[in-house]
Amino acid sequence: MRIGIGADHGGFILKKPVIEAIEEMNLEYKDYGTYSEESCDYPDIALKVTSALKDKEIDKAVLLCGTGIGICIAANKVKGIRCAHVTDAFSAQMSAEHNDANIISMGGRITSPEDAKEIVKAYLSAQFAGGRHQRRVDKIKQIENNN
Ligand code: RB5
């Protein structure tokens, strides 16, 4: 499994712990920036990472901004993206198991590096449960297709 990582300047601080978590799980990652704390616009990063996901360069992704909110909103504008904004490991696990989230987002000004590692591991260890959850995800897709 190949994991994309994207951050704006507000999420930059979490890039290192997120990469560590991915490496500790023996998974591959691809880094879509940003590469410093210099100010940049989170929608640009969201677009880069969601395009890579749609092109199957990566299988899942972690997006980071100051709160994790803006980059999540931007990512969810792209068809087929289910980005979950998470601040705890249980929600991260549920976002994979119940919502088939293909991206999680976190905030560098909200979540500690230690918690970010735990959250990433919980998300990447979990599998979509299917069944009744598939029906609900299909309904999300219907909303997307009709609006
Ligand atoms: C940038 O200052 C900040 O607005 C951004 O990182 C993010 O928190 C937006 O939701």
Indicate which atom in ligand 1 lies nearest the CA of residue 72.
10
Q: Domain extents for the chain?
A: 2-146
Looking at residue 134, what is its pLDDT? 98
pLDDT range class, residue 128, cuts 50, 70, 90: very high
Cβ < 6 A, ligand 1 pocket: 8, 10, 42, 65-67, 69-70
Looking at residue 147, what is its pLDDT? 96
pLDDT range class, residue 106, cuts 50, 70, 90: very high
Report the 10 Å Cβ neighbour count for 9. Answer: 19
Looking at residue 99, what is its pLDDT? 98
DSSP secondary-structure letter at 87?
A: S
Q: Checking DSSP bridges between strand 60-65 and strand 28-31, what pairing results, if any?
A: unpaired
List the one residue out of 45, 40, 59 whose CA is nearest residue 1.
59
| H/E segment holding residue 137 | helix 132-146
- 11 CA distance to ligand 1 centroid (A)? 8
Indicate which atom in ligand 1 lies nearest the CA of residue 109.
8
- 69 CA distance to ligand 1 centroid (A)? 8
Q: Would residue 98 show up in a list of annotated catalytic residues for this protein?
A: yes
Phi, psi of 45 (to 5 degrees): -70, -40
**Cα 60 to Cα 50: distance, rounded to the nearest angstrom:** 9
Question: What average pLDDT does the segment 81-87 reach?
Answer: 98
**Residue 67 identity (one-letter amino acid):** T
Q: Calculate the average pLDDT of the chain.
A: 98
Class of 2-146 in CATH: alpha beta
Q: Would residue 65 show up in a list of annotated catalytic residues for this protein?
A: yes
- 145 CA distance to ligand 1 centroid (A)? 29
Looking at residue 129, what is its pLDDT? 98
